[in-house]
C-alpha cells in the first residue's frame, strides 16, 4: 500500500482524497494556491505546499511546481483528482519519468482515449456501438457534406480535442454545415490547439448515461453500473442519479458490458467513466471516455457500497481489485445535486465571496461532500462547486423526497447557490416521471 | 459611484485620502468599509491587490502577477522580503564547499543572486530583485520551500 501521496487538486475533491487516505493510514501532502491558503481542509493533510498565485495556470496547472511539490513532499504517488491535470497525458508521462506514481491510467491509455476520434476507432474495434459518423477526421468541407448526406441530417460537428461539452456545433442541412465547417475548425484550434473535427449524427433529445468502470494492473476490469446525467444545462451536469430510470434491463447490461470491453481493449486501469447517449428508441451509442475519477462518483458509491477513491489507491498500489463483477450489486436509488455558488436567477452568474453562515443537511440517507463552511471564502478563480448533496433511498420516489428535504435544510448565506433550481427540477412532473433528456432543463425550466 | 455628498460618503475623494493617511499613520495594511450598498476596501502596498469585487465577474479584475521573484512589502515597514518564485529546495551557496551567495550585512542590488532553489534536478539562481542590505536569511540551507515563502529580508533604505 502506498504510504504518502500528493493531492494535486483543491476543494471538495482534494478533501475527498484526503479523507480516503486518512482511513487507509496514508500520509497526504496537499498543494494550494495563494487563494486557497486558508482553506479549512488543508489542516487535514499532513503537509500543505503553496504552488503559486491564485490563477490556476500559475499554480494547479503548473506541472513543474506540482512535481517539485511531490519531490520536496517526499511522496510516492500523485492523485490528480478531476479537472486540472487529471487527463493530461503529458503530466502522467512526467510523473512516470520522475518515478512518481500517477493514480490513474497509463499515459498511453489516457492519450488514446482522450482523443475523441481515436477513442471512436477503439470503440469500433471493441464492437461498441458509436453514433453513426465520419470515419476519422474531416479534411474538407466537401467530405463533411458527403458524410452528412450518407448518415443523415441533422449532424453534429465535434472537436477531437474537445471535452466537457465544448467545441460542438449542430448543422441541420448542407448550407448550414458548409458555414459551420470552417468556423468549427478555427474554434477548435483556438480553444484546444487542435483543429481536428469529425462529424456525428445529431441525436435529438438524447439521454446521457455513463458507466463507471475500474481496472487493476492485473488485467481485471469491472463495471459498477451506470449513472444518468441527463439533467444538464449547457452541457454542465446539474443532477446525476443511479440507476438510470426507464432504461431497459437488457440495454443496461449491454452498455455496462460494452464499457468493460472498451476499457480492456484500451489497456485501461484505475477508475474511468464510459459515456453514452441513449436515443428515444433506446439505442445506445458511445461518446467518450473520461479517464479520471468524476465529480459524481458518490452516486455510484452509494448504490454499490464501494469506496471508489480507496479502490483507485489500492489499484495504484499494485493490488488486484478486491471484488469481482458478481460482487458488485446495485441497491436502491441515489441522486446527487451539484451545489454551485451561482445565481440561477441571474443566468447562473458565478457568485464568489465569503460564506457568512452555513448549515449542512443530514439524516438518514444524506451525504454532503463539501469543503466549505461558515467563514470560508469562495474564490473567483476556479469552478463554482461548493458541495455535492447526495441521497440514497430504497426507491427513486423516496430519494426525491429526501433530496427535497435536504435541500431545504441546507442553508448558505453570503453567496447565492443553485439550490432553487434543484428544488424546481425536483418538483417537476416530467422529472418525477423520468421523462428527462439533455434538453429538459433548458426547454422546460429556462424556456 | 455616487457623487460626493459630503463627509458621509465613503467614495468621496477627500474621505479616501484621509483614510489612506490614517492607514499610513497607524501602519494599517487593510481597511474594509461598508455603507449601505457601497463598499470600499483598501489594501496598502506592493504586490498587486487580490481583486475582491462584489458581485464578481471572474474574467474581470484578475491581478497582474508580479514578475518573479516577488519583493513583497513587509510586515515591518522598513524591510522588504524576497520570496520564493518556485517550489523546491533552498541552498545558500552554489556548492557544499562554496561560500554563501549572501550573508547578513551584505549590500546587494537587484541582479545579485541571493540563493539557489533546486527543482526537478535543475539549480535555479534566484536574483534579489531589490537593492539594499541583507538583514536576515530566513531559510535553513537544504530546506524545502514553497511558492511565496519568505527567503531573505532586506533593508532597502540602507
The minimal CB distance from B120 to the residues A71, A73, A381 is found for: A71
Task: Decide if A292 is catalytic.
Answer: yes
Q: Architecture of B71-155 per CATH?
A: Beta Barrel (2.40)
A391 has pLDDT over 90: yes
Q: Output the pLDDT for position A235.
A: 84
| Nearest chain A alpha carbon to B143 | A72
Asked whether the beta carbons of residue B144 and residue A34 sit closer than 8 angstroms, the reply is: no
Q: What is the pLDDT of residues B114-139, one digit of tens each?
A: 999 999 889 999 999 999 999 999 99
- From chain A, the residues in CB contact with B55 under 8 A are 349, 351, 353
Q: Output the pLDDT for position B55.
A: 40
Residues 9-48 of B with CB under 8 A from A: none
Candidate from A93-102, A372-381, B34-43, B77-86 with smallest mean pLDDT: B34-43
Please state, in angstroms and rounded to a whole number, the distance separating the CA atoms of residues B31 and B26.
12
Q: How far is CA A23 from the centre of its chain?
A: 24
Domains of chain A and any CATH numbers: 4-103 (3.40.50.20), 132-201 (3.30.1490.20), 207-445 (3.30.470.20)
B57 has pLDDT over 60: no
> Average pLDDT of A395-401?
98
Looking at every residue in chain B, the average pLDDT score rounds to: 77
Q: How many CB atoms lie within 10 A of CB B156?
A: 13
Q: Output the pLDDT for position B41.
A: 77
- From chain B, the residues in CB contact with A55 under 8 A are 62, 65
Contacts of B144 (CB under 8 A, 6+ apart): A49, A72, A73, B88, B89, B90
Asked whether the beta carbons of residue A67 and residue B120 sit closer than 8 angstroms, the reply is: yes
Cell numbers that stand for A142 in this block: 466537401
Residue with more model confidence, A63 or B1: A63
Interface probe, candidates B86, B146, B150, B151, chain A, greatest A C-beta count within 10 A: B146
B108: three-class secondary structure by DSSP: strand
Counting residues of chain A whose pLDDT is more than 70, the rounded percentage is 99
Instruction: Answer whether B64 touches A (CB < 8 Å).
Output: no
Q: Output the pLDDT for position B45.
A: 62
- From chain B, the residues in CB contact with A69 under 8 A are 87, 146
Q: Output the pLDDT for position B76.
A: 64
| Nearest chain A alpha carbon to B48 | A53
Q: Residue A28: exposed, middle, or buried by beta-carbon count in 10 A (0-12, 13-18, 19+)? A: buried
> Average pLDDT of A418-435?
96
B52 has pLDDT over 70: no
pTM: 0.84
- From chain B, the residues in CB contact with A34 under 8 A are 147-148
Q: Output the pLDDT for position B25.
A: 76
Reported confidence tier of residue B51, pLDDT bands at 50, 70, 90: very low
Reported confidence tier of residue A447, pLDDT bands at 50, 70, 90: low
Counting residues of chain B whose pLDDT is more than 70, the rounded percentage is 70
Rounded to a whole number of angstroms, the distance from the CA of A351 to the nearest CA of chain B is 7
Q: Output the pLDDT for position A123.
A: 97
The minimal CB distance from B147 to the residues A51, A352, A353 is found for: A51
Please state, in angstroms and rounded to a whole number, the distance separating the CA atoms of residues A255 and A283.
10
The residue written with cell numbers 433530496 in the block is A403
Rounded to a whole number of angstroms, the distance from the CA of A277 to the nearest CA of chain B is 32
Q: What is the pLDDT of residues A110-148, one digit of tens each?
A: 999 988 889 999 999 999 999 998 888 998 889 999 999
Asked whether A288 and A275 are in contact (CB, 8 A), the reply is yes
Asked whether B114 and B120 are in contact (CB, 8 A), the reply is no
> Average pLDDT of A89-107?
98
Asked whether the beta carbons of residue A64 and residue B65 sit closer than 8 angstroms, the reply is: no
| Nearest chain A alpha carbon to B53 | A353
- DSSP β-bridge partners for residue B41: B32
Looking at every residue in chain A, the average pLDDT score rounds to: 95
Count of H-run helices and E-run strands, chain B: 1, 11
Instruction: Answer whether B86 touches A (CB < 8 Å).
Output: yes
Minimal CA–CA distance to A45: which of A90, A84, A8, A1?
A8
Catalytic-labelled residue, pool A169, A292, A314, A367 = A292
Please state, in angstroms and rounded to a whole number, the distance separating the CA atoms of residues A443 and A436.
11
Q: What is the pLDDT of residues A351-363, one digit of tens each?
A: 999 999 999 999 9
- From chain B, the residues in CB contact with A98 under 8 A are 120
> Domain residues of chain B, as ranges?
13-43, 71-155
Asked whether the beta carbons of residue B148 and residue A49 sit closer than 8 angstroms, the reply is: no
Please state, in angstroms and rounded to a whole number, the distance separating the CA atoms of residues B80 and B46.
10
Asked whether the beta carbons of residue A71 and residue B50 sit closer than 8 angstroms, the reply is: no
Rounded to a whole number of angstroms, the distance from the CA of B116 to the nearest CA of chain A is 14
| Nearest chain B alpha carbon to A54 | B50
Counting residues of chain A whose pLDDT is more than 90, the rounded percentage is 87
Q: What is the pLDDT of residues A200-210, one digit of tens each?
A: 999 989 999 99
Q: Output the pLDDT for position A314.
A: 98
| Nearest chain A alpha carbon to B85 | A52
Reported confidence tier of residue A319, pLDDT bands at 50, 70, 90: very high
Q: What is the pLDDT of residues A67-91, one digit of tens each?
A: 999 999 999 999 999 999 999 999 9
Asked whether the beta carbons of residue A51 and residue B119 sit closer than 8 angstroms, the reply is: no
What single-letter DSSP state applies at residue B13? H
Minimal CA–CA distance to A235: which of A179, A307, A288?
A288
Q: Output the pLDDT for position B158.
A: 73
Minimal CA–CA distance to A333: which of A248, A250, A222, A244?
A244
| Nearest chain B alpha carbon to A31 | B146
The minimal CB distance from A58 to the residues B51, B57, B65 is found for: B65
Q: What is the pLDDT of residues A140-199, one digit of tens each?
A: 889 999 999 999 999 999 888 876 667 788 999 989 999 899 888 888 888 788 888 999
Interface probe, candidates A34, A38, A62, A71, chain B, greatest B C-beta count within 10 A: A71
Asked whether the beta carbons of residue A50 and residue B148 sit closer than 8 angstroms, the reply is: yes
- Tally C-beta pairs within 8 A across A and B: 68
> Average pLDDT of A354-374?
97
Cell numbers that stand for A429 in this block: 412532473
> Would you list which residues of chain A are within 8 Å, Cβ to Cβ, of chain B?
34-35, 49-55, 58-59, 64-65, 67-69, 71-73, 98, 349-353, 380-381
Q: What is the pLDDT of residues A6-32, one digit of tens each?
A: 999 999 999 999 999 999 999 999 999
Asked whether the beta carbons of residue B148 and residue A34 sit closer than 8 angstroms, the reply is: yes
A268 has pLDDT over 70: yes
Reported confidence tier of residue B15, pLDDT bands at 50, 70, 90: confident
Please state, in angstroms and rounded to a whole number, the distance separating the CA atoms of residues A258 and A261.
5
Q: What is the pLDDT of residues A42-62, one digit of tens each?
A: 999 999 999 999 999 999 999
Rounded to a whole number of angstroms, the distance from the CA of B34 to the nearest CA of chain A is 15
Rounded to a whole number of angstroms, the distance from the CA of B146 to the nearest CA of chain A is 5
ipTM of the modeled complex: 0.84
Amino acid at each position: 500500500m502506498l504510504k504518502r501521496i500528493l493531492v494535486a487538486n483543491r476543494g471538495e475533491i482534494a478533501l475527498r482524497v484526503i479523507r480516503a487516505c486518512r482511513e487507509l493510514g496514508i500520509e497526504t501532502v496537499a498543494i494550494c494556491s495563494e487563494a486557497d491558503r486558508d482553506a479549512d481542509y488543508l489542516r487535514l493533510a499532513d503537509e500543505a505546499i503553496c504552488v503559486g498565485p491564485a490563477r490556476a495556470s500559475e499554480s494547479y496547472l503548473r506541472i513543474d511546481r506540482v512535481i517539485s511539490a511531490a519531490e520536496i513532499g517526499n511522496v510516492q504517488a500523485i492523485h490528480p483528482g478531476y479537472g486540472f491535470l487529471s487527463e493530461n497525458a503529458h503530466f502522467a508521462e512526467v510523473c512516470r519519468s520522475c518515478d512518481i506514481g500517477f493514480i490513474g491510467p497509463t499515459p498511453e491509455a489516457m492519450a488514446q482515449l482522450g482523443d475523441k476520434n481515436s477513442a471512436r476507432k477503439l470503440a469500433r474495434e471493441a464492437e461498441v456501438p458509436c453514433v453513426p459518423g465520419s470515419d476519422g477526421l474531416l479534411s474538407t468541407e466537401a467530405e463533411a457534406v458527403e458524410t452528412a448526406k450518407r448518415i443523415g441530417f441533422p449532424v453534429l460537428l465535434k472537436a477531437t480535442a474537445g471535452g466537457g461539452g465544448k467545441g460542438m456545433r449542430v448543422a441541420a442541412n448542407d448550407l448550414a454545415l458548409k458555414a459551420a465547417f470552417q468556423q468549427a475548425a478555427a474554434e477548435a484550434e483556438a480553444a484546444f490547439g487542435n483543429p481536428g473535427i469529425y462529424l456525428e449524427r445529431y441525436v435529438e433529445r438524447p439521454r446521457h448515461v455513463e458507466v463507471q468502470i475500474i481496472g487493476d494492473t492485473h488485467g481485471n476490469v469491472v463495471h459498477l453500473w451506470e449513472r444518468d446525467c441527463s439533467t444538464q444545462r449547457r452541457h454542465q451536469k446539474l443532477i446525476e442519479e443511479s440507476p438510470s430510470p426507464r432504461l431497459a434491463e437488457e440495454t443496461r447490461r449491454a452498455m455496462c458490458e460494452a464499457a468493460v470491453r472498451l476499457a480492456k481493449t484500451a489497456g485501461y486501469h484505475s477508475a474511468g467513466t464510459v459515456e453514452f447517449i441513449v436515443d428515444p428508441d433506446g439505442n445506445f451509442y458511445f461518446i467518450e471516455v473520461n479517464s479520471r475519477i468524476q465529480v459524481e462518483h458518490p452516486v455510484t458509491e452509494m448504490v454499490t457500497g464501494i469506496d471508489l477513491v480507496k479502490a483507485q489507491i489500492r489499484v495504484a498500489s499494485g493490488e488486484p481489485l478486491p471484488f469481482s463483477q458478481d460482487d458488485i450489486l446495485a441497491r436502491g436509488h441515489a441522486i446527487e445535486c451539484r451545489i454551485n455558488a451561482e445565481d440561477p436567477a441571474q443566468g447562473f452568474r458565478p457568485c464568489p465571496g465569503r460564506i457568512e453562515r452555513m448549515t449542512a443537511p443530514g439524516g438518514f440517507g444524506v451525504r454532503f461532500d463539501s469543503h466549505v463552511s461558515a467563514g470560508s471564502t469562495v474564490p473567483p478563480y476556479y469552478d463554482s462547486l461548493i458541495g455535492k448533496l447526495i441521497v440514497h433511498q430504497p426507491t427513486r420516489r423516496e430519494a426525491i423526497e429526501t433530496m427535497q428535504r435536504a435541500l431545504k435544510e441546507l442553508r448558505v448565506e453570503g453567496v447565492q447557490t443553485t439550490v432553487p433550481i434543484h428544488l424546481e427540477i425536483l418538483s417537476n412532473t416530467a422529472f418525477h416521471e423520468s421523462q428527462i433528456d439533455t434538453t429538459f432543463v433548458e426547454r422546460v425550466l429556462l424556456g | 459611484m455616487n457623487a460626493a455628498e459630503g463627509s458621509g460618503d465613503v467614495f468621496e475623494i477627500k474621505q479616501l485620502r484621509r483614510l489612506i493617511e490614517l492607514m499610513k499613520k497607524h501602519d494599517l495594511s487593510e481597511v474594509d468599509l461598508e455603507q449601505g450598498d457601497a463598499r470600499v476596501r483598501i489594501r496598502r502596498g506592493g504586490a498587486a491587490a487580490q481583486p475582491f469585487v462584489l458581485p464578481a465577474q471572474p474574467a474581470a479584475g484578475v491581478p497582474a502577477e508580479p514578475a518573479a521573484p516577488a519583493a513583497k512589502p513587509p510586515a515591518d515597514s522598513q524591510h522588504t522580503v524576497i520570496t520564493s518564485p518556485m517550489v523546491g529546495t533552498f541552498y545558500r551557496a552554489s556548492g557544499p564547499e562554496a561560500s554563501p551567495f549572501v550573508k547578513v550585512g551584505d549590500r546587494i542590488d537587484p541582479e545579485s543572486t541571493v540563493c539557489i532553489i533546486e527543482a526537478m534536478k535543475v539549480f535555479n539562481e534566484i536574483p534579489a530583485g531589490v537593492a539594499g542590505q541583507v538583514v536576515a536569511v530566513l531559510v535553513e540551507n537544504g530546506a524545502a520551500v514553497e511558492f511565496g515563502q519568505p527567503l531573505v529580508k532586506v533593508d532597502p533604505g540602507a
